Structure 1
Amino acid sequence: MVTVLLDPGHGGTDGGAGTAPYLEKTRNLEVASKVRDYLLSTFVVNVIMSRTTDKTVSLSARTNLANQQGVDYFLSIHHNSGTPSARGYEDFTYINISDTSTSDRIRNAIHTEVVNRVLGKYGLPNRGKKKANFHVVRESNMPSALLEIGFVSNTSDQRLIANPAFYNDMAVAIGEGVAKGLGLVRKKSTAATPSPSAPSIAPSKTFYRVQVGAYKERTNATAMQTRLKSAGFPTVLSSSNGIYRVQIGAYGNKDNATTMERRLRSAGFPVFVYQV
Structure 2
Amino acid sequence: MTTDGTEQLFSHFHQAEWLRGAVSRRMGQGARRLLLAVSLLCAGLAGGQPAISQPSVSQPKPQLELPVATDVRLESQGETVRLAMTLSAVVPLKAWVQAAPDRLIIELPSTNFQLQPGARKSAGFVSGYRYGLFTADKARIIVDLAQPAILASAEVKPVRGGFGELSIELKKVGRAEFLAEVAKAPRAEPATLPPAVAEKRVGETRRTVVIDPGHGGIDPGTVVASTAEKSVVLGFGTALRDQLESTGRYRVVMTRDDDRFVSLSDRVRIGQNEKADLFISIHADSLTQAQDVRGATVYTRSERATDAEAAKLAAKENEADSAAGLESGEEVQDVAGILMDLARRETRTFSGVFARNLVDKLGASVKMHRIPLRSARFWVLSAPDVPSVLIELGYMSSPKDAALLSSAEWRGKAVAAVSAAIEDYFARERAPVGKAAEARQ
* TM-score of the superposed pair, with normalisation by structure 2: 0.39
Q: Find the partner of 1:78 among 283, 286, 289.
A: 283
User: Distance between the aligned counterparts of 2:241 and 2:381, measured in 1?
Assistant: 19
Alignment of 1:168 onto 2:417: no
> Structure 2: any 5+ residue segments left out of the alignment?
1-205, 304-344, 429-441
Residue pairs, 1:1-276, within 5 angstroms:
1-19=206-224, 21-82=226-287, 83=289, 84-96=291-303, 101-119=349-367, 125-139=369-383, 141-183=385-427
Deviates more, 1:142-151 or 1:19-28: 19-28
Contact 2:268 2:382 (8 Å CA) reproduced: no
Do the aligned partners of residues 62 and 81 (structure 1) sit closer, same or farther apart at CA in structure 2, a change above 3 Å counting?
Answer: same
User: 2:421, 2:226 → 1: CA distance?
Assistant: 28
Q: Which amino acid aligns with 2:420?
A: E
SS at match of 1:110: helix
Moved over 6 A (4+): none
1:20, CA displacement in angstroms?
5.3
Q: Using the TM superposition, give the Cα deviation of residue 43 of structure 1 relative to its aligned residue in structure 2, in angstroms.
A: 4.8
* Change in 2 beyond 3 A, CA 1:46/1:148: same
Mapped contact 2:208–2:276 kept (Cα < 8 A)? yes
The amino acid of 1:167's aligned partner reads R
Paired residue for 2:171? Answer: none
Using the TM superposition, give the Cα deviation of residue 14 of structure 1 relative to its aligned residue in structure 2, in angstroms: 0.4
How far 1:181 moved relative to its partner? Answer: 1.1
Q: Give the conservation status (yes or no) of the 8 Å contact 1:22–1:161.
A: no
Q: Number of aligned pairs?
A: 180
Tell me the equivalent position of 1:264.
none
Partners of 1:99 and 1:55 in 2: CA distance: 29
Deviations 1:95-154 (A, max 9, x none): 1558981111011111111001222xxxx5443101110011123531000000001111
Q: Which moved more, 1:89-98 or 1:166-175?
A: 89-98
Structure 2 distance, partners of 1:99, 1:3, is 15
Change (3 A) 1:140 1:9: farther
CA separation in 2, counterparts of 1:114 and 1:135?
A: 24
Say what the alpha-carbon RMSD is for the aligned residues: 2.0
Give secondary structure in 1 for the equivalent of 2:294: coil
Instruction: Compare CA radii of gyration and give the structure with the larger one.
Output: 2
CA separation in 1, counterparts of 2:274 and 2:259? 22
Q: Distance in 2 between matches of 1:8 and 1:67?
A: 17
Structure 1 letter corresponding to 2:278:
Y
Report SS of the residue matched to 2:223.
Answer: coil
Higher RCO (CA < 8 A, seq sep 6+): 1
User: Is 1:10–1:16's contact at 8 Å kept on the other side of the alignment?
Assistant: yes
**AA paired with 1:158?**
A
Deviation at 1:163, TM superposition (A): 1.6
Distance in 1 (CA, whole Å) between partners of 2:387 and 2:423 is 14
Shift of 1:21: 4.9
TM-score scaled to structure 1, two decimals? 0.61
| Per-residue Cα deviation, 1:188-233 (whole angstroms, up to 9, x for no partner) | xxxxxxxxxxxxxxxxxxxxxxxxxxxxxxxxxxxxxxxxxxxxxx
Find the residue that maps to 1:117 and give its secondary structure.
Answer: coil
Q: Gapped runs of 5+ residues in structure 1?
A: 185-276
CA, structure 1 residues 40+25, in 2 after alignment: closer, same or farther (shift >3 Å)? same
What's the secondary structure of 1:182's corresponding residue? helix
For 1:34 and 1:20, locate their aligned partners in 2 and report how far apart those are by CA, in whole Å: 23
| Aligned amino acid, residue 363 of structure 2 | V
Q: Deviations over 1:233-264 (max 9, x none)?
A: xxxxxxxxxxxxxxxxxxxxxxxxxxxxxxxx
Deviations 1:63-103 (CA, angstroms, capped at 9, x unpaired)? 11111111111100000011322211111111155898111
